[in-house]
Amino acid sequence: MTVFVLFGATGDLARRMVLPAFYTLAIEGLLPEKWILVGNGRGDVSHEDFRARVREALEEFGPAPGKGPWREFAKRLRFAGGGFNTDSPGSLLDVIEEARQEVGPKAQLVHYLAVPPVAFPELTKALGKHGLAEGARVVYEKPFGTSPEEFRKLNRQVHGVLDESQVYRIDHFLGKEATQQLHAMRFANTTFAALWNREHVESVQIDVPETLDVANRAQFYDATGAVLDMLVTHLFQVAAEVAMEPPASLDAPDLQAAREKVIAKFRPIDPAEAVLGQFAGYKDIKGIKPKSRTDTYVAAKLWIDSPRWAGVPFLLRTGKRLAASEQRVSLVLRTPQKPFPKLPAQSNVLSFSLAGSGEVDLSFLAKQPGIAEDLESATVSLPLAAVKDADPLPPYSRLIHDVLVGDRALFTRPDGLSAAWKAVRPLLDSPPRSISYAPGSWGPAKARQLAAPHRWLLGQ
């Protein structure tokens, strides 16, 4: 029995991500037997109008409501208008009470804050004041804070109302099927476990270029930028997944502890080893400040001071309006010195595509059939959707399901976030000058120097 309260239910994030993910769980039969979703917002929206808006969101972003249990799904949608804050709960308390009468008085409350981070403190305080915090699970979107100081302040405010066990800080990159595949490939296969260290890995590239612009979320993005929106969140978390020591188990406490422990080993980023950029035309977008200095691109070299990774650069890159959209983690293996002379660099690569259902690629050199000893590059690919009986869930669906069952393994903890903010602080305090780059390019040419003496595997 669950009452799922979606704050910001008519906003962009809810429409694009949360509502489609929830409907996917309904299609897959992964929702509780009894549940009701209550949307919340400032407007005065009837239950029927909200259902129509949800249907429109599904028609635009999928899964299409013509498929699956739409009629039964729609019956369980409610809307509570009038906003929600410490001064007034609007109609939310009444609607929740009606929902509990329908599904059961002991229904699990789940609050999903699909709102800008600036709204987190007031909503959290309001949950406590109006009696909606006790025993509830509360999902916070990223970024959890906008600076080291704001993170600590927000963390205190949240813990003033909620126990840590109630808090689910979501980072949807941790919900990706291929991110979890990193665990299986590494820990379940001796072949890969043996090479997962500085002796065999020359560098690691975590590359998330995007062709998208920011027009649909201009005001949010202009107050955030690539460093806060992607680097200190998604890219750092994926780096931790790659770099962590083997956990005692894959249970939530052990997996979280291993991830957070290695983030504490992240060396603070040297601004001299980072490149910021802003695509040409960014300031012409409606909602962007005319003199905005917000970065839409960041590339940085991260060092991890652990025995396993000492001296191995982790190259992190992301940006908007770039030449291609990819989400790729690549372990570049060291080039053997003997007996083949002058082997090409970066020819042995174990790569994970995080996009969609994911894919694992192994690039290597093989002898070209014939009488000569010529070598040719070859790649073996495993699309994860092709694995027998594969039934992957989109990342938001997977993470919302984990919230519903109370599994915190793929959610971040405050100790890891504190270390992540410490690692990014020099870049926030002394950012390098932002460089303009052409839309459709691979970003500022200066970023090539970060990968020297070799190159970024994608594009350049």
pLDDT, tens digit, 9 for 90 and up, residues 229-238: 999 999 999 9
311 is in an annotated binding site: no
Other CB atoms within 10 A of residue 432 CB: 17
Q: Find the mean pLDDT for residues 205-223.
A: 90
Distance CA 38, CA 92 (A): 8
Res. 67 pLDDT band, cuts 50 70 90: low
401 is in an annotated binding site: no
229 is in an annotated binding site: yes
Q: Is the pLDDT of residue 37 over 80?
A: yes
Contact 110, 120 (CB under 8 A): no
Q: Is the pLDDT of residue 460 over 70?
A: no
Res. 306 pLDDT band, cuts 50 70 90: very high
Distance CA 349, CA 337 (A): 16
pLDDT, tens digit, 9 for 90 and up, residues 112-129: 999 988 899 999 999 999
320 is in an annotated binding site: yes
pLDDT score, position 415 = 92
pLDDT, tens digit, 9 for 90 and up, residues 313-331: 999 999 999 999 999 999 9
Distance CA 178, CA 184 (A): 10
Q: Active-site residue numbers? A: 234
In CATH terms, the superfamily for domain 2-141 is NAD(P)-binding Rossmann-like Domain (3.40.50.720)
Distance CA 288, CA 128 (A): 35
11 is in an annotated binding site: yes
Amino acid at 324: A
For helices 236-243 and 252-263, the axis angle rounded to 10 degrees is 110
Q: Find the mean pLDDT for residues 379-390.
A: 82
87 is in an annotated binding site: no
pLDDT, tens digit, 9 for 90 and up, residues 242-256: 999 999 998 889 999
Q: Find the mean pLDDT for residues 93-109.
A: 95
Query: Where does the chain hold its CATH 3.30.360.10 domain(s)?
Result: 173-393+413-451
Amino acid at 302: L
pLDDT score, position 288 = 93
pLDDT score, position 435 = 97
- Residue 39, CB-side half-sphere exposure with 13 Å CA sphere: 29
Instruction: Give strand pairing partners of 80.
Output: 40
Q: Is the pLDDT of residue 93 over 80?
A: yes
Q: What's the topology of domain 173-393+413-451?
A: Dihydrodipicolinate Reductase; domain 2 (3.30.360)
261 is in an annotated binding site: no
Contact 19, 114 (CB under 8 A): no
When the pLDDT of each residue in the chain is averaged and rounded to a whole number, the result is 92
**Could you tell me the pTM of the whole model?**
0.91
pLDDT, tens digit, 9 for 90 and up, residues 394-416: 999 999 999 999 999 999 999 99
172 is in an annotated binding site: yes
304: DSSP letter: B
pLDDT, tens digit, 9 for 90 and up, residues 125-179: 999 999 999 999 999 988 888 889 999 999 999 999 999 999 999 998 898 888 8
Distance CA 393, CA 153 (A): 34
Query: Where does the chain hold its CATH 3.40.50.720 domain(s)?
Result: 2-141
Give, for 381, the enclosing helix (H) or strand (E). strand 375-383
Q: Find the mean pLDDT for residues 299-318.
A: 98
